[in-house]
Structure 1
Amino acid sequence: MTDVHSAGVLVYRRTEAGIEVLLGHMGGPLWSRKDVSAWSIPKGEYALGEELPRVAARREFTEELGLPVPDGPWVDLGEVRYGSGGKRKTVIVWAVEGELDPDEIAPSTFELEWPPRSGRFREFPEIDRAAWFDLTTASEKLSKGQRPFLGRLAEYLD
């Protein structure tokens, strides 16, 4: 198994109905028809020792959504380790309170041979859409390995 390190930013806001978090739906043909466990905290990989995780988190957030991280204090939500696609992932996340319009995202893209073994490569957005969710709904939408960050955010805000 390969060890991978990722860092991300979970943007949250306070509404009359309660706390909401901004998640991105994973792009590409493998995720296009999935909803449950198909959303993610904007995050990306970084090389240990080459870059500070917080710098990587800011860069990856902007890369994935095409929007800057909102101004405000960063709350350290710690790290979570989980397996994914033959990789051991360590993900570190910070929460930042802010307001962003999901309709304004302009995500970066990746290239993938599609259909598989066709010899044709297509470009897909890393995140094909973003949306605000209350913590209960976010727990259903978010990939399983990232769900602990929601509980940590709720504990911090209590």
Structure 2
Amino acid sequence: MTPRDPARRSAGLLLFRHRGSGFEVLIGHMGGPFWARRESAAWSVPKGEYDPAEGAEAAARREFEEEFGHPVPDGAWLSLGESRQAGGKTVTVWAVEGDLDPAEAVPGTFTMEWPRGSGVRQEFPEIDRFAWCTPETAAERLVKGQRIFLDRLRERLSGGQVPAVHDGGA
């Protein structure tokens, strides 16, 4: 797959927890110099690209564990469906109920040349911090193309629909 390949696919997990009469979601602030001073539209569902041979469910589990540094909580996976992003990538997301401590995250890292053109390679966390957010705060923070998953989760939870039991490919 090339960077501009319209067949690019990504999968992720949106962790949620009930709080009072509402809920919160766990999202991550994207790491690296491009995102360092940004807050609005600089957060993401833990997700990543995958090869079709791997499968979306396995990729969602792998990406969550790579980016958060801990296993996915046990529980049913609630499908939030797919969305085609502005750049052409198709993203598939599931929601899982759980209550992890953001302070315990041990994110994976990536290496890139920084500053650009310097010849110096530096390592950065894929996600530099995680936070539990209300749906309203998450909508402000999430990149635009992922907000639809928050809306879908809100609809599913407010409708009282129980997630189908699904182990996420474990």
Is 1:43 aligned to 2:36, yes or no? no
Q: Which consecutive residues of structure 2, in runs of 5 or more, have no partner in the other structure?
A: 159-170
Q: Which consecutive residues of structure 1, in runs of 5 or more, have no partner in the other structure?
A: none
Counterpart of 2:162 in structure 1 is none
- Normalised to the residue count of structure 2, the TM-score between the two structures is 0.88
Is 1:75 aligned to 2:78, yes or no? yes
Is 1:22 aligned to 2:26, yes or no? yes
Is 1:105 aligned to 2:105, yes or no? yes
Q: Which letter maps to 1:39?
A: W
Q: What CA distance in whole angstroms lies between the structure 2 residues aligned with 1:151 and 1:138?
A: 10
What is the DSSP-based 3-state SS (H/G/I as helix, E as strand, rest coil) of the residue aligned with 1:2?
coil
Q: What CA distance in whole angstroms lies between the structure 2 residues aligned with 1:69 and 1:42?
A: 11
- Normalised to the residue count of structure 1, the TM-score between the two structures is 0.95
Runs of 4+ aligned structure 1 residues displaced above 4 Å come to none
Give the number of the structure whose residues are more often strand, by fraction: 1
Counterpart of 2:142 in structure 1 is 142
Counterpart of 1:7 in structure 2 is 11
Q: Which letter maps to 1:37?
A: A
C-alpha deviation, 1:83, in angstroms: 2.3
C-alpha deviation, 1:17, in angstroms: 5.7
Q: What CA distance in whole angstroms lies between the structure 2 residues aligned with 1:8 and 1:147?
A: 13
Is 1:125 aligned to 2:125, yes or no? yes
C-alpha deviation, 1:68, in angstroms: 1.1
The share of aligned pairs that are identical, in percent, is: 58
C-alpha deviation, 1:31, in angstroms: 0.3
Q: What CA distance in whole angstroms lies between the structure 1 residues aligned with 2:108 and 2:39?
A: 21
What is the DSSP-based 3-state SS (H/G/I as helix, E as strand, rest coil) of the residue aligned with 1:100?
coil
What is the DSSP-based 3-state SS (H/G/I as helix, E as strand, rest coil) of the residue aligned with 2:58?
helix
